[in-house]
Amino acid sequence: MKSFFIYSEKDAAFEYSPGHPFRPERTIRTYQLCNKYHLFNEPWISVVSPEPVPNEALLLFHTEKYLSLLKAAGRGEMNLDIATAGIGTSDNPIFPGLFEKSNLAAGGTWVGGDRVMAVEGKAIAFNTMGGFHHAYPDGAEGFCYINDLAVFGKYLRKNGKRFAYIDIDVHHGNGVQDAFYDDDGALVISLHQSGHTLYPGTGFENEIGSGLGRGYTINVPLPPQTDDELYLMAFHEIVPAAIEAFKPDLIIAQLGIDTLSNDPLALLCLTNNGYVKIVRSISDMTEKLVATGGGGYNIDNVVRGWTLAWAAMNGLFLDDPFVGSIGGALRGTEIEGGGLHDRHLYITGPTKEKNEEEIRRVISYIKKNVFPILGAKG
């Protein structure tokens, strides 16, 4: 087994704008916490620096004009074309070196994917700076400028590889879905808060692909206040059977952690206990895994969750020597007296019953309308 954690402190030390909810510093803090728990000490684990994505690879998904606009905006230029491309909004602000910073974040996924594909046998890469699933070929959207996931996916398809994409971010991965909507060599699966109640307003269960790709897009929209139990039920009813039927050469996983209960931008109610079970399940499904970060706007949640996720991907059990020893103003990232894991959270009563009914309806729709096309059992 080989495992690659993609990281550069220099490349994560910037901000979108003062007060912006997307804070790249979470990557630095995740690395620091993983290091504190000795999660880079195993012989199969390497820490690898990102590199920019080559221009010819970016052009597999993005337009040349759009890339030029990103470069111009990062130099301080502003014109109507830049604004029309979604650059310079409150969600997607302009900052110095916009193109270079975005391309290096995407390059972590590119480098990680290259390392994974070069290894015989089990291989994992985790680029916490990646996961920009909303960006379109010619536009920025939802804090995303360069869609690292679509770029790497297009590269894989160009080289004849079949991949499955699993997105557990609370927001639907609209940019990735659209990139492969008519492609039967890419199985795109997204579990997310329903578009009826959250940006980007897409990702409903009847969005199942078109043309040759019909049946190769699976969306599991979830109602607000979905908890660990119901999320895990939905995941295990749908994802393993679909992956088994599709038999991908590798899995790309977008591991956004804004599904947790106190994330300020969404309304699901997971804990990192449920989140880590999902990450472990994804890792167990494949010999080749390219994982990225994604959403997550409570930084302590993000840092603890991604540290646990990295341990889970590598089959490591965290014997936490810090439990009970950290608290008060100096507690650091860990929750007071409790180490890395969240306290359990259970939704009960009419809300739980209503949510279960809705999720079972979605599962039934997918099994009736998508599983027969894939040849999946369920």
Of the residues 133, 134, 172, 192, which is catalytic? 134
**171 is an active site residue:** no
- Per DSSP, 340 falls in state T
Distance of alpha carbon 198 from alpha carbon 256, whole angstroms: 15
Q: Which residues contact 223 (CB under 8 A, 6 or more apart)?
A: 193, 194, 197, 354, 355, 358, 359
Name the residue type at position 118: A
* Residue 258 near residue 266, CB atoms below 8 Å: yes
Q: Tokens representing 258?
A: 């804004």
Only one residue has tokens 């790497």, namely: 152
Residues 6+ away with beta carbon under 8 Å from 321:
none
Q: For residue 331, give both structure tokens.
A: 């507690």
Alpha-carbon distance of 184 to 209, in angstroms, equals 9
Determine the Cα–Cα distance for residues 189 and 323; give it in Å rounded to an integer: 36
- What residues are annotated to the active site? 134
